[in-house]
Amino acid sequence: MEKIHSTTILAVLHNGKVAIGGDGQATMGNTVAKSNVKKLRKLQDGKILVGFAGSTADAFTLLDRFDEKLNAFGGNMKRAAIELAKDWRMDRYLRRLEAMMITVSKDELLVLSGTGDVLEPDNQVAAIGSGSMYAQAAAIALKKHAPQLSAEEMVKESLHIAADICIYTNHNLVIEKIE
């Protein structure tokens, strides 16, 4: 079976507002398998948003575990992320999962990986997936040179730039924000 390629997920915290977005493309080899995949989920009644890249089944497994951790730790996103990362690294089953996640709350961005990383990104910009470096570079430039834009506008424009460059990223965007 051919490996499904990643995606592009980008989160920006700017002027006290947070937005996260992702494209809708899933590919298998050099074929677009689906063009309107939703790669974002709301947790904790919309107080926490999660974007994922990688294997969808693996991402849903991690998403369920993260939700369990959030419930166990009273919605404390950072604590839940650290506990999930520990499990992800140590558990034989979870260790095999191929996905990454960005989690956001109203004032915090975190990137989680299977190597046990829980990263608080510089510049309050987080990106994962195959087009992540294009989207991240665009978002950092927009924060610096177009600070009048909203976090949502920065995410949208940056993802469109990534989609223009990365063949595994399309223009079917889903963007969520925390009010």
Q: What is the 3-state secondary structure (H, E, C) of the chain?
A: CCCECCCEEEEEEECCEEEEEECCCEEECCEEEECCCCCEEEEHHHCEEEEEEECHHHHHHHHHHHHHHHHHCCCCHHHHHHHHHHHHHHCHHHHCCCEEEEEEECCEEEEECCCCCEECCHHHEEEEECCHHHHHHHHHHHHHHCCCCCHHHHHHHHHHHHHHHCCCCCCCCEEEECC
Please give the CATH superfamily to which domain 8-174 belongs.
Aminohydrolase, N-terminal nucleophile (Ntn) domain (3.60.20.10)
- The catalytic residues are 7
Q: Evaluate if residue 4 carries a pLDDT over 90.
A: no
| Sequence spans of domains, the chain | 8-174
Least confident stretch, 51-60, 69-78, 164-173: 51-60
More confident residue, 89 or 100: 100
pLDDT band with cut points at 50, 70 and 90 for residue 93: low
pTM of the model: 0.93
